[in-house]
Amino acid sequence: MPPAYSRARPFMARLTGNRRLNKSRSEKETRHLVYNLGEAGLDYKPGDTLGIWPENAPALLAEIARLTGLSPESLAKRDITRLTPPLLSFCSMRAPALAALLAEQSEANQQAWLWGRQIRDVLETYSIVIPIKSVTLLIHRGIFLRSSVAV
């Protein structure tokens, strides 16, 4: 019988490896992530699941709140970095220069342009006001542990 669920104390773990497992043409993206849990003081066995609850960096949260006019509290559980296709579409309808830039590029060039850009880049450049519902929620992740504490 598995142990009862419990939310352990929060801790930080350094990401030491990140490798894509799918071929580059795949529509799915599966990654092999390696975290150094040595200093975390966790007691786990292979097959346990590690829960990840992401949080926004306070400085970035304050900056996005300033740019959007939204409160930091309303943005705290939102993904304030990821420029999603619906958000980009919303922004391009309100910024003709952005719409023109995207329209003149092929899909591959659009993806290249988007690489490394975040919401704040578009908001700063094009002075767009966005509603809170257009910013996606942060997603809780569960990671299946395959290694042992001996590794």
Q: What angle do CA 143, 139, 43 make, to 5 degrees?
A: 30
Average confidence (pLDDT) per 10 residues, the chain, 151 residues: 49 81 83 78 74 84 89 90 86 91 82 84 88 82 61 45
d(CA 3, CA 14): 26
> DSSP character for 132?
G
Closest listed residue to residue 34, CA positions, set 150, 116, 143: 143
Give me the half-sphere count of Cα atoms (radius 13 Å) on the Cβ side of residue 118: 9
Tens digit of pLDDT for each residue in 32-47? 888 787 777 777 777 7
C-alpha 90/C-alpha 110 separation (Å) is 16
pTM as predicted: 0.63
Residue 1's SS3 state is: coil
